[in-house]
Amino acid sequence: EVQLVESGGGLVQPGGSLRLSCAASGFTFSSYDMHWVRQATGKGLEWVSAIGTAGDTYYPGSVKGRFTISRENAKNSLYLQMNSLRAGDTAVYYCARVGYGSYEGAFDYWGQGTLVTVSS
Amino acid sequence: SYELTQPPSVSVSPGQTARITCSGDALPKQYAYWYQQKPGQAPVLVIYKDSERPSGIPERFSGSSSGTTVTLTISGVQAEDEADYYCQSADSSGTYEVFGGGTKLTVL
């Protein structure tokens, strides 16, 4: 069974840093592109970052230069290093797997999310 | 930056057909995907590559594409279908992902 379990969320002051983790199981982690998606309370989904199987990374302008996505295939883990955090980064952060073959391009599995609150 | 546009809300009575649209300039070039999200839960994929349905998703869910608009259709809506629905696609280069603003489906 595919499982994605996020951790590392919490309360952080503006300007602070936080590192999120996503533990993957039930599939060959190294073979899949992985993403982070966030959702502020009562708001829609927002794509945050992506990492390919070769380690290539992508970010939207809203987080580029502040967030860093990485992966450690030996530990079946995905990470998101978040620096210079702002109140607008407050959200539930989900890790999501991009499907393979027929499901290519689709976020076919999601974790349950971890809450990040940026406040003084 | 690239945007996908969805109506904020759609309301239907049980048994009727709900149609949720998503518009974006790159949709003729890029596939669209649809997700259902119920309160307090993670999103669930209901349609991939414009019109394909994942295993386990009821047949009443279908997708279509025409030009710059994709549509999620739910035929014979049931009370359990009440949820937020999001479309997702990529920009014309295929590099950056984007979600629509979401549509709240209310079953009257």
For residue B100, the model assigns a pLDDT of 98
Which H or E run contains A22? strand A18-25
Are the beta carbons of A71 and A77 closer than 8 angstroms? yes
- Whether residue A105 and residue B45 make contact (CB cut-off 8 A), yes or no, is no
Residues B24, B25, B30, B36: what is their CA dihedral angle, to the nearest 10 degrees?
Answer: 0
Q: Which of A61, A100, A47, A57 is nearest to A78 (CA)?
A: A57
For residue A104, the model assigns a pLDDT of 85
The 10s digit of each residue's pLDDT in B20-69 is 999 999 999 999 999 999 999 999 999 999 999 999 999 999 999 999 99
Determine contact: B88 vs chain A, CB below 8 A: yes
For residue A105, the model assigns a pLDDT of 87
Counts for chain A of helices (H) and strands (E), in that order: 0, 11
Mean pLDDT over B78-99 rounds to 96
Residues of chain A with C-beta less than 8 angstroms from the C-beta of B22: none
Q: Hey, which residues does A104 pair with through a beta bridge?
A: A99
pLDDT of chain A, 120 residues: tens digit per residue: 999 999 999 999 999 999 999 999 999 999 999 999 999 999 999 999 999 999 999 999 999 999 999 999 999 999 999 999 999 999 999 999 999 888 888 999 999 999 999 999
For residue A4, the model assigns a pLDDT of 98
Residues of chain B with C-beta less than 8 angstroms from the C-beta of A45: 35, 37, 43, 86, 88, 99, 102
For residue B1, the model assigns a pLDDT of 85
Are the beta carbons of A104 and A97 closer than 8 angstroms? no
Q: Hey, which residues does B23 pair with through a beta bridge?
A: B5, B69
Q: Which strands form B69-74's sheet, in the order they lie side by side?
A: B18-23, B69-74, B61-66
- Residue A102 DSSP SS3: helix
Mean pLDDT over B60-81 rounds to 97
Q: Which of B64, B60, B65 is nearest to B81 (CA)?
A: B60
